[in-house]
Amino acid sequence: MATSPNVQRTPADGVEALHALVMTSLDDDQAVETVSIPLAGKSSIADYMVVASGRSTRQVASMATKLAEKIKAEFGRSPRIEGLPTADWVLIDAGDVIIHLFRPEVRSFYNLERMWSFGETAGQA
């Protein structure tokens, strides 16, 4: 999955600010089991992949919507969002940070953390 050509890349210091905003927003919205996987130097799609769960489709949709609004307000660009209508698995492409929000059952089925951990233990945030 490549980053959309319409999503802008962020300067290096901005990447950390974007990542921090994502992690803070998910924490504020009580995301469950948030994991941040550093991809810099391992993949060209993004610098970070963040995986988190919500307890219901309503919470997943709410977290995704709020996060997209915060990214737009802070960085002046709208991230690409897929999966919002069903909210079982919502993908938010913010350029340098890719966010996957799941319902727990869907997350355990796909197990993205294992696939993207590159043989390391994915870092808990």
Decide if pLDDT at 115 tops 90.
no
**pLDDT score at 12:** 63
Q: Is the pLDDT of residue 114 over 50?
A: yes
Give the rounded percent of residues in the chain with a pLDDT score beyond 90: 70
pLDDT at residue 73 tops 80: yes
Q: What is the pLDDT of residue 4?
A: 45
For 41, phi and psi rounded to 5 degrees? 80, -5
E strand spans, 1-125: 32-38, 48-53, 80-82, 89-93, 97-102, 123-124
Please give the model's pTM, rounded to 2 decimal places.
Answer: 0.83
Domain 31-124 in this protein, CATH class: alpha beta
Residue 82 in this model has a pLDDT that exceeds 50: yes
Q: Is the pLDDT of residue 122 over 90?
A: no
Query: CB of 112 within 8 A of CB of 36?
Result: no
In this structure, which long-range contacts are made by residues 52-55, counting pairs with CB atoms below 8 Å and at least 24 apart in sequence?
Answer: 52/26, 52/99, 52/100, 52/101, 52/102, 53/101, 53/102, 53/103, 53/104, 53/107, 54/29, 54/101, 54/102, 54/103, 55/103, 55/104
Give the residue-averaged pLDDT of 50-72.
97
Return the bridge partners of 93, or none: 80, 98
Give the span between the Cα atoms of 22 and 19, in whole angstroms. 5
In this model, does residue 91 exceed pLDDT 60? yes
pLDDT for the residue 67: 98
Q: What is the rounded average pLDDT of the residues 37-56?
A: 92
